[in-house]
Amino acid sequence: MSKTMSINAGSSSLKWKLYDMPQETVLASGIVERIGLADSIFTIDYYNGKRYEVTLAIAEHETAVRLLLEQLIQLSIISEFSEITGVGHRVAAGGESFSDSVVITPAVLEEIQRLAELAPLHNPANAMGIRAFKNILPEITSVAVFDTSFHQTMDKTRYLYSIPMEYYKEHNVRKYGYHGTSHKYVSERAAVLLKKPLEKLKLISCHLGNGASVCAIEGGKSVDTSMGFTPLAGLTMGTRSGDIDVSILPYLMEKESISDINEMIWILNNQSGLKGISSVSSDMRDLHALEDSDEQAALALRIFEDRVKKYIGAYAALMDGVDAIIFTAGIGENDIQTRKNIVDGLSYLNAELSDERNDCRGVERVISSNQSAVQILLIPTDEEVMIARDVERLR
C-alpha cells in the first residue's frame, strides 16, 4: 500500500489530495491559499467531514509543503514522511516535449521551466511546487502530469494554424490544447457508463468551468480541442474572451491609447468573457440570478451557450458523427439550465435531454432521454485521481 499526493500548485496557492493507492481512497485534501501574504489560509479536510483550518504567514511554497506534511502527522493522517511514496504534479504546458506523464528528473524540471514561455502564469508556479517537494522529500517518485499531453495525438491538420510554416518549424507555434487530464478522465468514464469500448466511441467532452474547453475524442484519442497555443482560445469563458479576430487588438490599442500589447492580452484574459459581456460577474450563478432583470447578464449566458453549441457542431462534423456528449467541470456538472439550453439546440443531431435525469448536480449519470440518438452524459471530473494513477503507473 502506498500513499500518493496529487498537487496543483499556483503562484500563490497549493491544492492537494492524499490518496491511499491503488485503492484510490482519499485520505485527506486541502489547500494553502495566499502564499506570500501575512494571512495565508491553510486548510485540511479529513476523515468524514473533519476540517483543520488556520490563518498564518506562509512566505513560500516550500514552507507550505513542510507545514502541510507536519500537520498530516499531527492529525495522525500519516505517521511519518516516508509513508508518502509518490507525488504527482499538475503542469500546464508540456509543449511537444511531453506526450505522456513523466518521472521528474533535473532535465525534465529544466524543460518545464523552459516551457514557461507557453504558459507564463502556470509553469513557473508548477515548477515551484515541484522544487518544494523535491527539497523536502528528495527520495520519492515525483511525476509531472501535463494538461497538454492528451492532445498530442491531434493531427497536423488540426494543430497547425494557417500562418507561415516557419513559425511552427522555428518557434513551435501551434495548437496545444489544455484540460487534457480532465477530458481523458471523463472519456474513460464515458466508456464505462456506456458499457462500450473506448476505442469504438466518438465523444465530445465539454469541460465547462471558469476556464472552459471542448474536446473531440475518437477512439480514446483527442483529435481536436478548442483551446489553442494558450488557454485563451475557444469558448467564451469566465473572464477569457475565447476566439477573437486578432485584428481587433491593434485597432483597440489605438482607440483606447494602450501602448503595451501585454495589457491588451491581460484584458482578454481577465476582463473579458462572461465578465466582460455582462459587466457584472464571471460566475454563472450570478448571471442566472440577474437573467430576468439584466439584459447584459442574459446576453452573456446566451453567448456562452452559443459558443458551446458551435464547437459541438464543429466536432460532430469533424468526426462524422458523435456517440455521446459529456458535460463536466463547475458549470457542466451543476448548471442544469445551461445544459438544457445547449442540448435544446442540438435537435439536428437527434440529441434530447430527459428533464428528469438532467435535474441533478455533480453525479455521474446518463441525462439524455431514451429516444435520444446521442447519449448525453454528466460526468464529474477528477483530475487529481488521474495524477495519482500516473504516479502509480510510473513508480
Q: Which three cell numbers stand for residue 17?
A: 489530495
Query: Given the rule CB under 6 A, which of 44-52, 224-232, 239-247, 324-332 is the region that contacts ligand AMP?
Result: 324-332
Beta-carbon-side half-sphere exposure of residue 128 (alpha carbons within 13 Å): 24
What are the start-end ranges of the E strands in the chain?
A: 2-9, 14-21, 25-33, 40-46, 50-56, 84-91, 102-103, 141-146, 202-208, 212-218, 221-225, 324-328, 365-366, 375-378
Omega before 22 within 30 of 0, i.e. cis: yes
State the SS3 of 119-188: CCCCHHHHHHHHHHHHHHCCCCEEEEEECCHHHHHCCHHHHCCCCCHHHHHHHCCCCCCCCHHHHHHHHH
How far is Cα 325 from Cα 214, in angstroms, rounded to an integer? 10
> Among residue numbers 195 through 224, which ones bind ligand AMP (CB under 6 A)?
209-210
| Binding status of residue 276 toward ligand AMP by CB under 6 A | no
CA distances from 66 to 41, 46, 378, 381 (A): 15, 18, 38, 29
| Of 123, 222, 334, 358, the one binding ligand AMP by CB under 6 A | 334
Quick check: 331 binds ligand AMP (CB under 6 A)?
A: yes
What CA–CA distance (Å, rounded) separates 18 from 3?
7
Q: Is 370 annotated as a binding residue?
A: no
Q: Consult the annotation and say whether 325 binds a ligand.
A: no
Q: Is there a catalytic annotation at residue 382? A: no
Our CB check for ligand AMP shows the closer of 102 and 284 to be 284
Whether the CB-CB separation of 17 and 29 falls below 8 Å is answered with: yes
Pick the piece of the chain touching ligand AMP (CB under 6 A) from 48-56, 94-102, 153-161, 331-339. 331-339
Give 335 or 390: the residue with its C-beta nearer to ligand AMP: 335
Q: Contact at 8 Å (CB) between 123 and 92?
A: yes
What's the grid cell of residue 262? 501585454
Instruction: Return the H-helix or E-strand segment holding 100.
Output: none
Closer of 109 and 308 to ligand AMP (Cβ): 308
Task: For the segment 227-266, give every residue that binds ligand AMP (CB under 6 A).
Answer: 238
Q: Of 285, 302, 365, 393, which one interacts with ligand AMP (CB under 6 A)?
A: 285
**Is 331 annotated for ligand binding?**
yes
The stretch among 5-13, 14-22, 160-168, 277-285 that binds ligand AMP (CB under 6 A) is 277-285
Cβ proximity of 228 and 241 under 8 Å: no
- Is position 291 annotated in a ligand binding site? no
> Rule CB under 6 A: is residue 330 a binding residue for ligand AMP?
yes
CB of 328 vs ligand AMP, minimal distance in Å: 8
Residue that is written with C-alpha cell 471523463 in the block: 186
Q: How many residues sit close enough to ligand AMP to count as binding (CB under 6 A)?
A: 11
- CA gap 278, 137 in Å, rounded: 47
Binding flag, residue 335, ligand AMP (CB under 6 A): yes
The nearer residue to ligand AMP, 30 or 238, going by C-beta atoms, is 238
**CA–CA separation, 128 vs 385, rounded Å?**
21
Whole-number minimum distance, CB 153 to ligand AMP, in Å?
A: 24
Q: Which span sits near ligand AMP by CB under 6 A: 70-78, 121-129, 186-194, 282-290?
A: 282-290
* Catalytic site residue from 39, 100, 147, 344: 147
Residues annotated within the binding site for Mg(2+) are 8, 383
Residues annotated within the binding site are 8, 15, 90, 207-211, 283-285, 330-334, 383
- Catalog residues that contact ligand AMP under the rule CB under 6 A: 209-210, 238, 283-285, 329-331, 334-335
Could you list the active site residues?
147
